Amino acid sequence: MFLFRRGSDRVTPAQARQNTIDGDAVLLDVREQVEWNAGHVPGAVHIPLSRLVTGAALPSAAEGRPLVVICRSGHRSQQAAKLLAGRGAEAVDVKGGMTAWASAGLPVVDERGSSGRIA
């Protein structure tokens, strides 16, 4: 069972991985398409923040589930987590984003499933 601590709106990459691999949360990547194509977390769900801001619905795989939101550095994911919480979702963001994720040695793949890079 996935539980966010009260008052906690940010998680480390290791906590994000644990909660999305071992828990029931979904890792939601809010970077733009070109960034996603260059490198993303295997199994993550994608929707750019620019689409969320205009009212786009979450991808079906993320609906009704706790969300761990990630971007490149953590700025856009913080915005997205707040926006999604305002819509009633349970959402936190990854402190340091994909840059911190990759620095922690966690997996990143490109659009073809090969080793990816953070753009």
- For residue 59, count other CB atoms closer than 10 A to its CB: 12
Give the Cα separation of 21 and 13 in Å (integer): 12
CA distance between the termini of the chain: 33
Length of the chain in terms of residues written: 119
Local structure of 14: helix, strand or coil: helix
Of the residues 25, 44, 67, 71, only one is catalytic, namely 71
Sign of CA dihedral 59, 65, 71, 76: positive
User: Could you identify the residue written with the tokens 């689409």?
Assistant: 51
Note if 71 is an active site residue.
Answer: yes
Q: Which residues are catalytic?
A: 71
